[in-house]
A and B are shown apart, each in its own frame.
Chain A
Amino acid sequence: MIAFAGAIGDVLTSSTMYGSTVRFAALLVFAATGEWVAEKAGTMNISVEAMILTGSFTAAIGSYLGHSVWIGLVFGMLGGLLVSLIQANMSHRLGSNQFVVGLTLNVLAVGLTAYLNAKINPTVTKAGAIKIPLLSRIPLVGGALFGQTWLLYLLFPLIPFAWWLVYRTRWGLEVRSVGESPQAVDVSGIDVNKRRRQSVYFCGLCSGVAGAYLTIGQVGSFGTDGVSGRGIIALAAVILGGWTLKGTVGAAVVFGFFDALRFALPALGHTVNPQLLATLPYAMALTTMLLFAHRGRQPSALTRPFVRGLT
């Protein structure tokens, strides 16, 4: 117990720990922000997993072909978008069950990227770190937030942008409405399924960025098991965040902390069972949902397909 408390103390005073928390959380925040918008419109998108994975692979391809981080980023976004196109059109044009489609896409993405990766074996140009002057000197958290790869800084505009998009634009108003009361929105002359598809595309783009960040910002290469359930944890962050952006980002950061802890504890010289460490993010996602999930109010029409006139 004392050892554990000591470990926590070490972790909280270690500035590298803050840095790696931010690095791990960034992936989750990118994806969770996108998924938050999709869930606001009524889709529980388990294919986030596939979107991140595909994005991280196409980013590797882009970076390999174009020898540029920028091209990698664009390719990553396109990869995420591609998956979201299938998800959105199958579930909000054809009306297939969104879990079925999502799950299939997850299996498809694992198979396809593993296959193509073995064939192509791309080498990745990694994005460099940029220290933001002054801000990066803030003790403890400065380096963590402002001394990172520039891809991570995309988060700082993305979060307020997503908030503005959902709460201050007409598109966002319509997105929130189709997630709550699609029948009423339909009567007002809004194409419900179109808004839902668009919100899934947004999620695909964000998850694509998450994937690109993973490959070219964080790891520097594509790994077939690099995502391993983080998409699902991003989904858990939205639920735990009670479908608010604040909560979602907060929950993603908490999960990012536990993700980082897996590597930090051994690095700080604490011996913890490796399997126990590996379960940490998943177990924490479950535990926190167990404690807090019932508090949030989910969008009323979440996971319900909309067909005009069908009750």
Chain B
Amino acid sequence: MLGENGAGKSTLMKILIGLIQPDEGSINVHGNAVRIADPITASDLGIAMVHQHYSLVEQLTVWENVVLGEPSRLNRADACARVVALSERYGLGVDPLAGVSRLTAGQRQRVEIIKCLRREPRIIVFDEPTSVLTPAESEQLFSVLRRVVIDEGRAVALVSHKLDEILHATDEITIMRRGRVVDRLTTGTATAAGLAQSMVGRPVSLRSEAAAFGSIETITQSVDAAPVSDRPDGADASPAGPHAAAEMPVVLDVRNITVIGVDGHRLLDDLSITVHAGEIVGLAGVEGNGQRALGDLLASLVAPVSGSVVVGGKAINAGRPGALSAAGVGIIPEDRHDSGCVLDLSVAENLVLADLDKVSRRGVLNRRALEARAIELMDAFDIQARSPHAPMRSLSGGNQQRVVLARELSAHPRVLVAAQPTRGLDVGAIEYMSERLRRAARDGVGILLISTELEEVLTLSDRVCVIHAGRIVGEMRRDDIDLERLGMLLGGMAA
């Protein structure tokens, strides 16, 4: 099942497992029309799903999570034995007694898989399964998939927006666009370019939008074939190209930062990273390796226990509320609903959160100025909303992201931290975001791009750093990217 973000893939799959009820239409399972009222019914029909955002309760152990939602009596010994049996059968290496909060993203996914396989489903849905995995883990996942399909005769629906893995792992492809199925074909007859076109509905360049299609090969080809100066976006026009960036002043200098989480866990461990003006530094890494903590640190949401944050040559007390914002560090947070916007305030209000001076005098808000500024920014950043007074909640994800981007860029930051800036956006919105980031870099803003999408990091960055277990484990320039070494670094192996 291929389609860009927002095409309706997840909605369709949620209908299939009973989380959403369709208004019209029918579902046939093994030839019989069925009504799937809730996940229990789906499970009885033999349909199970491995969710994109984890459905695990962190504070419980693995076996408790695996049996959660089953109707039978609780039997610990039996449950553990079955977890172990399944874990051995598929080579997943899961300990039933481990606490989920201590597991890595990849291990958690394996718990999800066991939870799903334990019910012996005949149909398994995988929703964007590789977005949290290292390349090696993805490879392992696909080998498990092949086993359940070939050896055990189960059907697997793989939902993805990444062309590579769809071409690599499937037999048949269904393409969705804007809530409709637009194409069905067997994988053997498909080409990457053709798939991309029917996915987006217009001819697209695989090379310039490789990140949106998750196509690493095209990226590396473009690296090999065309040095940076030939990049389609005209990076050579930048006054501070990647090579020149080293001579530009350092705008953000994070030195030996350690952050401890609530459970005493080291989230960031002696991490150091620098960003020069006009440079895009990509921070690659598998989900859950401290990216969130780094984003929180640079948004003044957590205080480091040691180390310093220097912005434009000045040391900042990072833990003080609003300190980094005031110092000129803009941020597009990983989870905009968590710390990027206030859903119950209006679009206009969300556009000025930290920057009230421009719309107030002596502490009194000037509503006309607020509205005028909102209209100006909505225009400049092409934000679609009913009115500036519409609640933020009523906007689509892509437009909410533009509100955040507009607010952060209009404050003229020295540094812009973009954490997973394109997550959940469609191809058009991804393009727009990428272009804005490049333009900001050309204007001399130092950009720290934190992303788990390797493709995104590789297309946008002048320099790539790899984070693992809260530390920077490797760094390479864009023009000497070594994919093999990168893969090893992502998995935490020194290379």
Q: List residues of chain A with CB within 8 A of the CB of B39.
A: 187-189
- Interfacial chain A residues near B479, Cβ < 8 Å: none
A89 within 8 A of B: no
The residue in chain A whose Cβ has the minimal distance to the Cβ of B42 is: A189
Q: What distance in Å separates the Cβ of A285 from its nearest Cβ neighbour in chain B?
A: 25
| A180/B60 in contact, CB under 8 A | yes
A188 near B64 with CB under 8 A, answer no
- Given contact pairs A187-B51, A188-B69, A311-B337, A180 touches B43 in the complex (Cβ within 8 A): no
Q: For the complex, is A56 an interface residue (Cβ under 8 Å from B)?
A: no
- The answer, among B58, B70, B74, for a CB contact under 8 Å with A180, is B58
Known: A185-B68, A188-B55, A189-B43. Is A177-B38 also a contact (CB below 8 A)? no
Closest residue on chain B to residue A174 by CB atoms = B68
B19 in contact with A170 (CB, 8 Å):
no
**A188 near B68 (CB under 8 angstroms)?**
yes
Is A16 on the interface with B (CB-CB < 8 A)?
Answer: no
Task: Please measure, in the bound complex, the distance between the C-alpha atom of A187 and the C-alpha atom of B343, giving whole angstroms.
Answer: 23
- A selection of 21 A-B contacts at a CB cut-off of 8 Å is A169-B74, A170-B73, A170-B74, A173-B60, A173-B68, A173-B74, A174-B68, A176-B59, A180-B57, A183-B55, A184-B55, A185-B57, A187-B51, A187-B55, A188-B39, A188-B68, A188-B69, A189-B39, A189-B69, A297-B262, A311-B343
A190 on the B face (CB < 8 A):
yes
Give B62-80 as 1s and 0s: 1 = Cβ < 8 Å from A's Cβ atoms.
Answer: 0010011110111000000
Instruction: Write out, one digit per residue, whether chain A residues 174-197 have a CB within 8 A of any chain B CB (1) or not (0).
Output: 101100110111111110000000
CB-nearest residue of chain A to B338: A311
> In the bound complex, how far is the Cα of B40 from the Cα of A168, in angstroms?
22
| Nearest 6 pairs of A and B residues by beta carbon | A189-B39, A188-B69, A187-B55, A181-B57, A189-B69, A184-B55
Which residue of B19, B67, B337 contacts A173 across the interface (Cβ within 8 Å)?
A: B67
Which residues of A175-234 are within 8 A (CB) of B?
176-177, 180-181, 183-190
> Which chain A residues in 30-74 approach chain B with CB under 8 Å?
none
A117, CB-defined interface residue at 8 Å: no
**Distance, CA A185 to CA B39, complexed state (A):** 11
Contacts of B69 in A (CB 8 A): 185, 188-190
The answer to whether B432 has its CB under 8 Å from any CB of chain A is: no
Chain A contacts for B73, CB-based, 8 A: 169-170
CA distance A115 to B40 in the complex (A): 48
In-complex Cβ contact of B64 among A173, A186, A187 (8 A)? A173
Which A residue sits closest to B74, measured CB to CB?
A: A170
For the complex, would chain B's binding face be called helix, strand, loop or mixed by DSSP majority? loop
Q: How far is the CA of A180 from the CA of B42 in the complex (A)?
A: 25
Contacts of A177 in B (CB 8 A): 57, 60, 68
Chain B 184-221, CB-CB to A under 8 Å as 1, else 0, gives 00000000000000000000000000000000000000
A300 adjacent to B59 (CB under 8 Å): yes
Interface centre among A169, A176, A180, A187 (most CB of B within 10 A): A187
Contact string against B for A residues 123-153, beta-carbon threshold 8 Å, 1 for contact and 0 otherwise: 0000000000000000000000000000000
Residues of B within 8 A of A (CB): 18-19, 38-40, 42-43, 51, 54-60, 64, 67-70, 72-74, 262, 337, 343
**Across-interface contacts of A181 in B (CB, < 8 A):** 56-59
A176 — which chain B residues lie within 8 A by C-beta? 57, 59-60
Q: Are A180 and B59 in contact (CB under 8 A)?
A: yes
Residue on A nearest B49 in the bound complex, by CB: A187
Query: Could you say which residues of chain B place their CB within 8 Å of the CB of A297?
Result: 262
Complex: A173 Cα to B42 Cα, angstroms: 22
Which residues of the other chain, A, contact B70 by a CB distance below 8 angstroms? 170
A189 to B40, CA, bound (A): 6
Give the CA-CA distance A190 to B60 in the complex, in Å: 16
Asked whether, in the complex, the Cβ of A184 is within 8 Å of the Cβ of B74, the reply is no
Contact partner of A168 (CB less than 8 A), chosen from B18, B19, B74, B262, is: B74
A173–B58 alpha-carbon span in the complex (Å)? 13
Contact: A187 with B19, CB < 8 Å? yes
Contacts of A184 in B (CB 8 A): 54-57
> Which has the most chain B C-beta neighbours within 10 Å: A170, A185, A186?
A170
**What separation, in Å, do the CA atoms of A225 and B474 have in the docked complex?**
68
Residues of B near A180 (CB, < 8 A) are 57-60
Minimum CB–CB distance from B397 to chain A (whole Å) comes to 11
Name the residue among A176, A184, A185, A297 with the largest chain B CB count within 10 angstroms: A184
Residue of A nearest to B14 (CB): A187
Closest to A186 in B: B19
Min CB distance B334 to A, Å, is 14
Please, what's the 1-or-0 string for A76-92, where 1 marks a CB less than 8 Å from any CB in chain B?
Answer: 00000000000000000
CA of A116 to CA of B64, assembled, Å? 48
Chain A's closest residue to B337 (CB) is A311
Q: With contacts A177-B57, A180-B59, A184-B55 known, is A189 near B74, CB below 8 A?
A: no
Complex contacts, B18 vs chain A, CB 8 Å: 189
